[in-house]
Amino acid sequence: MSVVGISLVKVLEHYLTPQQYKRYVRDRRNQMVSPQQSYNAALRDLSIRDTEAAIFNLINVFESEPKHLPALHLARTMLFGLNKLFHEAGGDLQKSKYPNINSWRQKVEKQIQELELEEQRVRNEISQTETKKGLFEGLFGGAKRQQRTAQLKQRLQEVLNELAQLQKRRTQAIKLVQIQEYANIVSLILEVCMFPARYSWLAVDEQKSNEPKYQTQIWVG
Per-residue pLDDT reduced to its tens digit, 3-39: 456 889 999 999 999 999 999 997 665 567 899 999 9
Segment 124-153 shows an average pLDDT of 77
Q: Which of 32-46, 90-104, 117-131, 197-211 has the lowest mean pLDDT?
A: 197-211
Nearest-CA neighbor of 73 among 193, 181, 176? 193
C-alpha distances in Å from residue 33, one per residue of 25, 29, 155:
15, 11, 60
SS3 content of the chain, % helix, strand, coil (to 5): 80, 0, 20
Q: How far is it, in rounded angstroms, from Cα 211 to Cα 195?
A: 26
Q: What is the mean pLDDT of the chain?
A: 86
User: pLDDT by residue (tens digit) across 106-120?
Assistant: 999 999 999 999 999
Q: How far is it, in rounded angstroms, from Cα 91 to Cα 134?
A: 55
C-alpha distances in Å from residue 145, one per residue of 137, 139, 160, 166:
9, 10, 22, 31
- Cβ atoms of residues 72 and 193 within 8 Å: yes
Residue of 140 and 175 predicted with greater confidence:
175
Amino acid, res. 122: V
What is the separation of C-alpha 20 from the centre of its chain, rounded to a whole number of angstroms? 9
Segment 37-48 shows an average pLDDT of 96
How far from each other are the two terminal CA atoms of the chain, in whole angstroms?
A: 50
**What is the largest distance, in Å, between two alpha-carbon atoms of the chain?**
109
Nearest-CA neighbor of 34 among 70, 87, 4? 70
Q: Is the pLDDT reported for residue 135 higher than 70?
A: no
User: pLDDT by residue (tens digit) across 164-204?
Assistant: 999 999 999 999 999 999 999 999 999 999 999 999 888 66
Q: Angle 38-85-7 (CA atoms, 0-180°, nearest 5)? A: 35
DSSP state of 197: G
Q: How far is it, in rounded angstroms, from Cα 192 to Cα 204?
A: 15
Q: How far is it, in rounded angstroms, from Cα 118 to Cα 125?
A: 11
- Cβ atoms of residues 187 and 79 within 8 Å: yes
Q: What are the residue ranges spanned by the domains of the chain? A: 8-90+187-210, 93-175
pTM exceeds 0.75 for this model: yes
Q: Is the pLDDT reported for residue 53 higher than 90?
A: yes
